[in-house]
Amino acid sequence: MSDTSVEKKEAGPPPDEPVTGDAEPEKRKREYKDFGHEQEGPTHVKVDMDQIQLTAEDLYDKEKVDLETIVVDDVFKLLQCTEEGLSAEEAIRRLELFGPNKLESEEQNAFLQFLSFMWNPLSWVMEAAALVAIALSNGEGSAPDWQDFVGIILLLFINSAIGFYEERNAGNAVKALMDSLAPKAKVKRDGKWLEIESADLVPGDMVSFKIGDIVPADCRLTEAINVSIDQAALTGESLPQNKKLGDQCFSGSTCKQGEAEGVVISTGPNTFFGRAASLVGQDDDTTGHLQKILAQIGSFCLVAIGIFVLAEIFCLYAGFRYQYRRGLDNILVLLIGGIPIAMPTVLSVTLAVGAQQLAKYKAIVTRITAIEELAAVTILCSDKTGTLTTNKLTIDRSTIRTYGAFSGEDVVLLAAYASRTENQDAIDSCVVGAIGDPARARAGIKLLDFKPFNPVDKRTEITYREESSGKLKRVTKGMTGIIIELCTRNKNDEIENQLEADVEEFATRGLRALAVAYEELEGEDPEAEGNGFELIGLLAIFDPPREDTKQTIDDAIALGVKVKMVTGDQLAIAKETGRRLGLGDHMYPAKVLKDGPAPGGKHATLDEMILDADGFAGVFPEHKYEIVKRLQGLGHLCAMTGDGANDAPALSRANVGIAVEGATDAARGAADIVLTEPGLSTIVHAIRGSRIIFQRMRNYSIYACAVTIRIVVCFAILAFAYKFDFPPFMVLIIALLNDGTIMTLSVDRVLPSSTPDSWDLQEIFAYAVAYGIYLTASTIALVSIIIKTTWFFDRFGVTLENGATSAAGNHNDRQLHMIVYLQVAIISQALIFVTRSHSFFFMERPSFALMGAFCLAQLVASIIAGFGNWGFTQIHSISGGWIGIVWVWNIVWFMPLDLIKFAMKATVIRWIRERHNKVVQRETADGVPMTRTQSRAASIHESMYSNRVSFIRRAARKVGFGQKVSMKPEELQRFSSIQAQRTGATLARNPSRTAA
């Protein structure tokens, strides 16, 4: 064991054991609790090693084969390799057999990726309209409606091209990130050491690594020189683990001390990390939260269109006896104008632009719809080690205990003397770091002898000459129980009682204890006995919180997000960290997740306990997964931060998985957002940024639904009331102008909410109906005045086609069509300024892009109105007088829109929210507070939208993110054995031709 074991073994008994402060009457041997784990000895394969052709069933039978624990010689036999490494030919063969040492990737066909933007119910309706225009509109001696067909196809391709472009850019950004993180490995091939890409490693390879290196694959050590491996990413504990010959090292762990060689037993997805990353793949919900929202918004629009299409079929054909082609054109108007065809693309572009903005805060988004879900997150479950804390041990100066004439600073300095200054382990590094300048650890002294830590003595020792006095002195530091036994000079019941009490106190606070003793030597012999050690101090070691973590937690709470610590470390350590961060120390051990709350306790149910807790300690991967799953079951959207393979299952299960800086490939593969900068402050920026993006999407959703209602209701009523036949091609022009303007919403200036957002679709649909009906009234009123009266003609001297001063005799005057086109185009786009603001529209300044696009679209619409005279469709240009009338008319009707918004808030929206609150109160009658996110239930065809809104999923898979390999949860605790055995099974079925 190494000094790291000292730290691990000095914390005393568990916090729930009583502290014994008084000595018993009979002298007893004091025991300082050892937190270590007993190591099982190596075993042999219980099969005939001459029969190397093992079956898969044999390899899965741990009674016969367990590559994790069998002797290394048997590993070499089973994997058909030697310490000289594989030959280049055999390495190539095994690379083809086992695949690369990285998460599997899959290529996305660019053409299919482009076409997939046209694969959702909204696009299907537009595609059906195109087929109607080209295939069904050629009756009664008329040619197919080529113009409408080309226009619809152009509209579809423009939307697909924009989404495709953004998707490819996002995918390339993720790929570039992963390429920059590609690791190297030192491997022996043909008896020579080479440096290759880690991806080229295969089972049976001999690899080498030293201090600071990342272990490139799961391996068994064949040589180990003072090796200490940091497996915090695996176990959640701060302490590196000492490794010896024959021990197993896991891919992605870090070598903190020494040098080692080993034989690779598992690579790629079959490693511990690879399997952890894909643990919950079989439970993956490919239909994300935003897809469900899209599906329901799409359903609303489709239902509205369907109702009025059916009404037109019955009314126009059965009632008015329309000819086939005339009725079909009216139906096309509803299909083309009512479908918010740009909705998937607009939301995708909004998310993609948002992802680029988050990248400025060093957050790489690997699943783009996670941005939307992050805005709605109500609970942030955070790992402790390396996430809330620095994963770097530190001396806690405020708790140093002294037992003699030396001060606390003296104790730290003497402990630094007794530490290595090069090739340090974690304990030596933190002790030397505590004195500020590492040079002080050897300043003013001459090193005569140094004994490094070893698992027998469990301490370090230095003998030195003090240059100022010339005296020989000796200092030792190490495990408390070992050090006190050496202290013959001041060892007595009082000191022992005090030391035991101090160690117990440290243990209850989650601090590790390190004892320091000192003695002087007579004469000049550095190997001579001293005058007896004297216990001089006790150092407390802990993993300190990051500097910005407390502020980050405070900011998250201010944003309405509750933070819970979920760590694999001990309960006492978790509570101490929670106290230091202001997170609270109301934490529970993981066993309560199985046992449930104590009878008669504060909590009646496990769910209530999980919601109330500040955190959980001693958790394994399945515990983290269970916590997240239960919180989601209560209606919460959860974010989970982590950095290691042990976090991967929960990262994958969470609505938003966040891999912090320095995370393993397994964690990055399971996460939706990857941080490339230390600390958690990025998460707060990401939450704020996601809420801005959410507001943009919500604003567009209200607008899109309102325009759908406005088009289908307006033109259906005009057709019923006046037999008004609006040309379908002009609806296409309106849609193109709208789409071009609305795309700029992705960069609009909006304010984030101060509480978690949620999609309350009842509110969105209520606003949409109110706005749509009002805008419908604006158009019908204008047409009615033109048809029923001569007021405009008399007042402003305008005329219609051929000088007509009334439309009473011709309800389908081509200039009247153009007037309606211009009125609908202008006020429909102007609606966005009302839906994007919470107060009066002029109180919240839009972005320059949105304002510029709106002005350009209105200029184009007015130019078309003034000069468009196209023979293939039923329109004719209008005079400047009519253009002015339409503009003034729209301005007059636009002004009350804000009043409608306020009236809706005070009546319908207030009623919806009060009813929702009553439902929540009924659901929480058992005392469990819950936050319900609206529209969690999926609609029938929600999966149809998954292609378009989860487009980064495919880009992520290209570079190895987000792999999903099925594995039963109960297999979790047998990870390493199973992976090693799989390697042997594959080789057994495919033996080397050169193998003996």
Catalogue the active-site residues.
383
> 776: Cβ–Cβ under 8 A, 6 or more apart, which residues?
709, 710, 713, 714, 717
Q: Which single residue is written with the structure tokens 């643990």?
A: 279
Handedness of CA 712, 715, 717, 719 (dihedral sign): negative
The rounded radius of gyration (Å) of the Cα atoms in the chain is 36
**Residues 252, 645 contacting (CB under 8 angstroms):** yes
Cα–Cα nearest to 776, from 738, 813, 721:
721
Cα–Cα nearest to 428, from 452, 457, 464, 397:
452
CA–CA separation, 876 and 871 (whole Å): 8
Strand, helix or coil for residue 925: coil
| The two structure tokens encoding residue 813 | 């005057």
474 pairs with which residues across the strands?
463, 519
**Residues 472, 523 contacting (CB under 8 angstroms):** yes
H/E segment holding residue 554: helix 549-558
CB atoms within 10 A of CB 593: 20
| The two structure tokens encoding residue 989 | 């079925």
CA–CA separation, 66 and 980 (whole Å): 8
Burial pattern 213-240, b for ≥16 Cβ within 10 A else e, equals bbbbbbbbbbebebbbbbbbbbbbbbbb
CA–CA separation, 213 and 134 (whole Å): 65
> Could you give the angle at which helices 728-742 and 848-867 cross, rounded to 10 degrees?
160
> Could you give the angle at which helices 343-359 and 146-180 cross, rounded to 10 degrees?
20
Q: Which single residue is written with the structure tokens 């140093």?
A: 400
- The greatest distance separating any two alpha carbons of the chain, rounded to the nearest whole angstrom, comes to 126
CA–CA separation, 834 and 672 (whole Å): 33
Strand, helix or coil for residue 843: helix
CA–CA separation, 695 and 752 (whole Å): 7
Cα–Cα nearest to 672, from 639, 696, 646:
639
Please give, one letter per residue, the 3-state secondary structure of 568-634: CCCHHHHHHHHHHHCCCCCEEECCHHHHCCCCCCCCCCHHHHHHHCCEEECCCHHHHHHHHHHHHHC
Burial class (CB within 10 angstroms; exposed 0-12, middle 13-18, buried 19+) of 511: buried
CA–CA separation, 984 and 991 (whole Å): 10
**Residues 514, 415 contacting (CB under 8 angstroms):** yes
